[in-house]
Amino acid sequence: MRKVVWMMAALLLAACSKEVPVSVPEEETWTLTAGFAGPEEADTRSRLDFDASAASVLWSRGDAFKMVMMTPTGYRAATYTTQDDGVEKAVFVTGSSPLSGDSFTSGYPASVYRVGRKDENEAYLITPVPSEQKAIPGGIEEGLNRAAAWSSSQTSDLLFYNMLSYVRFRLEGACVESLSSVTLSAGTTVAGDATVYFEGGRPVIDWSKNWSNVTVPRSTEITLTGPFEVGKDYLIALVPARLEGFDLAFTGTDGRRLYKHSSKSVTLARSRILDIGTVRLGDSWEQETPEVVEYVHQVKGSRKNVICVLAEGFTEDELDEFGRRARNAVDYLFSVEPFKSYKEYFTVYLHRVASNESGASVTDGNGNVVTARDTYFGAQWGESSYDDMSADASKIRQYIKDHCPEVLSGELSYSDVPALLLVNDTRYGGRCTSYTNGWGYCICPYTYGGGTVRWSFPAYQAVNPADDSEGYRETTDSERDALGRNVGDWRNTMLHEFGGHCYSRLTDEYWKTAYVSEPGGIIGHAYATPYALNASGYYDRYVPWQEDLLDCLDEWKALNPDYGRIGLYQGAMSSLYFRWRSEPVSCMIDNRPYFNTWSRILIVRRILEKAGEEFDMAAFREKDVTVDPVRPAAGLSAVQRRRIRAQAEMVPEMPLLLPPVILDDEED
């Protein structure tokens, strides 16, 4: 964990801005009144009182906020303090001289805000949201009730808005007495140095700015340290975020852990408290965990449709951590369409397979092991290259034969059960190996310890997308802005490699300028179980989506204008020329949580076929969801588009994932 935090801090420092100097004001007394927005904004407050029947916003004696005004050479700041106690609106006093201007930014509490320049007239407030917090029965650690306000005058009454979100819970069970910490793992950034600016008078947290003196690196986890008491309310303060499921890890004083998981997707908006109720830890730290856990239970279909998630490189003591990551991966898969709408057709097993050593073997990039790790399935790849990423396919196949309930019973063949191999290693990579009979397995490591990364749309595009003419041009910034920039983590790799390649048998839709395929070809469409039906080797014949989409495109567009994305675009299967895809961008290009329309049709057809059901296009249309969450909303200003661009470019860019390996039946 220390290594991961250091890497994240280094990335933050690599593209930093400088905080600006302060001008010292003269002594003079100024007074104003400050309150909190409400009542809809009053879920959190300066002083938390859970016994109140209604949310009251109360100031406490000694509360202080910092007011900032930018100057041509830096900024001037004044600290206001109140002696009022238990009131909704308090009188604050400062000894500073007036800050003449027309834009004033204020942050509460004063002690936890630093200042950076947004432009000549406006400041960023920099506030660290700690990844380690103290457990306070019935409240939060002092200083974690962050708020900010904007005004056009130093003497105007201020209206503060709460900045953070909170997760609240209570504890039961004898284990609470020996509980040392509770860790929230969210899979997205929830802590770290954050910058605050204002839109329409309301504060917004912006991750696109980085500062030279980082105090709290970004983190996807927050730890609440004890002691704890049975039956008390506890809160974890975090940056507002969209959580696609989350885990709570409860660690005892002797290091043993209990895990609780929520697969619920929830948006934690600013100034909101998510109450998850009472968590029952039980009376013992000992847990009897079966080797095979059914995590998703199938309720539709006449035949089982099974996925197996296997642990690789996790020792016996690390298998609870595997469970957390596996649940996180499966939850993410089923948060993306069409898997989300068809989840009831799936059975998913989590297999707790112990290895003798952690991690995976390291090669020289050419398959020769230079650092061996004794792991169950023998996963290996290079330190800085994943061209030779592999595992022992025969051992994976045999494990499924010996441990998957439906294969053991004879209901399914191993070839019906794709495997997701989650590797306990923080290097980048991801690889799918598929067979012509339909079976496949995918290798997916825990890249950068769950840290944030991004993938880019290809830098060049074919000039003539609907014929065999060669020639290319650069992708413009405006085109990238319109498509959006995908920022994610290791789960996006999993979505592409397992959801796209391994389960759905889709091919890559990205291309490389230096690589060109031979013209034509049916591209695996004739395998025993077809592959790559989302790509075409011709623009004028044998196009898989011609009959279902292109021939009736006006009908589709009449149903939903998003279907206007459908067409014939040159570039796919690593090749800039002589390969075509059906939409400009999709998961199979930059790992975004969006599969294009034709891919969604192919995925649903495969789901229903494996579940013993018939595909019906009318039923698909009625159920289909066309939203691409990476594409920015229409009508964004140039400033907003630049901000999105800056937010994406601040995280490390990952190279394109390698094409899947296709082998004949039973061949390793």
Burial group, residue 477, by CB count within 10 angstroms (0-12, 13-18, 19+):
exposed
Q: What is the mean pLDDT of residues 224-249?
A: 89
Half-sphere exposure in the Cβ direction for 278 (13 Å, CA): 9
Angstrom distance (rounded) from CA 366 to CA 19: 46
Buried/exposed 291-317: b ≥16 CB within 10 Å, e otherwise:
eeeebbebeebebbbbbbbbbbbbbee
160 compared with 643, residue with greater pLDDT: 160
Buried/exposed 491-501: b ≥16 CB within 10 Å, e otherwise:
bbbbbbbbbbb
Sequential DSSP letters for 496-548: IIIIIIIIT-PPP--EETT--PPS---TTTTSSS---TT-BS-SSS--TTTTT
Whether the pLDDT of residue 9 is over 70: the answer is: no
Mean pLDDT across the chain: 84
Q: What percent of the chain has pLDDT over 70?
A: 84
Q: How confident is the model at residue 187 (pLDDT cuts 50, 70, 90)?
A: confident
Q: What is the pLDDT of residue 119?
A: 60
Instruction: For the beta carbon of residue 243, count every other beta carbon within 10 angstroms.
Output: 21
Asked if residue 161 lies in contact with residue 270, where contact means CB atoms within 8 angstroms, the answer is yes
Q: What is the pLDDT of residue 274?
A: 85
Q: Which residues contact 551 (CB under 8 A, 6 or more apart)?
A: none
Q: Tens digits of per-residue pLDDT, 331-379?
A: 999 999 999 999 999 999 999 999 999 999 999 988 899 999 999 999 9
The residue ranges of every structural domain in the chain are 2-280, 292-331+344-410+417-422+432-446, 454-649
Q: What is the pLDDT of residue 355?
A: 97
Helix (H, G, I), strand (E, B) or coil at 90: strand
Range in 82-91, 270-279, 309-318, 647-656 the model is least confident about: 647-656
Q: What is the mean pLDDT of residues 152-178?
A: 86
Range in 161-165, 550-554, 612-616 the model is least confident about: 161-165
Whether the pLDDT of residue 404 is over 80: the answer is: yes
Q: What is the pLDDT of residue 345?
A: 98
Q: Quickly list H helices, 304-370.
A: 319-333
Whether the pLDDT of residue 7 is over 70: the answer is: no
Q: What is the pLDDT of residue 25?
A: 35
Q: How confident is the model at residue 102 (pLDDT cuts 50, 70, 90)?
A: confident
Q: What is the pLDDT of residue 400?
A: 97
Asked if residue 148 lies in contact with residue 202, where contact means CB atoms within 8 angstroms, the answer is no
Whether the pLDDT of residue 521 is over 50: the answer is: yes
Whether the pLDDT of residue 122 is over 70: the answer is: no
Helix (H, G, I), strand (E, B) or coil at 414: helix
Angstrom distance (rounded) from CA 488 to CA 590: 10
Q: What is the pLDDT of residue 515?
A: 79
Please state the separation of Cα 573 from the chain's center in Å. Answer: 26
Whether the pLDDT of residue 27 is over 70: the answer is: no
Greatest pairwise CA separation for the chain in angstroms: 85
Range in 11-20, 90-99, 528-537 the model is least confident about: 11-20
Asked if residue 340 lies in contact with residue 245, where contact means CB atoms within 8 angstroms, the answer is no
Q: What is the pLDDT of residue 51?
A: 41
Angstrom distance (rounded) from CA 646 to CA 637: 14
Total residues belonging to the chain = 668
Whether the pLDDT of residue 501 is over 80: the answer is: yes
Please state the separation of Cα 615 from the chain's center in Å. Answer: 31
Q: What is the pLDDT of residue 22?
A: 34
Range in 26-40, 218-232, 598-612 the model is least confident about: 26-40
Q: What is the pLDDT of residue 12?
A: 25
241 compared with 650, residue with greater pLDDT: 241
Angstrom distance (rounded) from CA 539 to CA 580: 7
Q: What is the mean pLDDT of residues 211-227?
A: 79
Amino acid type, 214: V
Q: How confident is the model at residue 290 (pLDDT cuts 50, 70, 90)?
A: confident
Q: How confident is the model at residue 658 (pLDDT cuts 50, 70, 90)?
A: confident
Q: What is the pLDDT of residue 483?
A: 92
Whether the pLDDT of residue 506 is over 80: the answer is: yes
Q: What is the pLDDT of residue 668?
A: 42
Whether the pLDDT of residue 108 is over 70: the answer is: yes
Q: What is the pLDDT of residue 199?
A: 81
Whether the pLDDT of residue 618 is over 70: the answer is: yes
Q: Tens digits of per-residue pLDDT, 294-307?
A: 999 999 999 999 99
Asked if residue 134 lies in contact with residue 225, where contact means CB atoms within 8 angstroms, the answer is yes
Please state the separation of Cα 363 from the chain's center in Å. Answer: 29
Q: What is the pLDDT of residue 105?
A: 85
Q: What is the pLDDT of residue 403?
A: 95
Q: How confident is the model at residue 3 (pLDDT cuts 50, 70, 90)?
A: very low
116 compared with 390, residue with greater pLDDT: 390
Give the range with max mean pLDDT: 195-204, 248-257, 263-272, 333-342: 333-342
Q: How confident is the model at residue 200 (pLDDT cuts 50, 70, 90)?
A: confident
Q: What is the mean pLDDT of residues 436-452?
A: 93
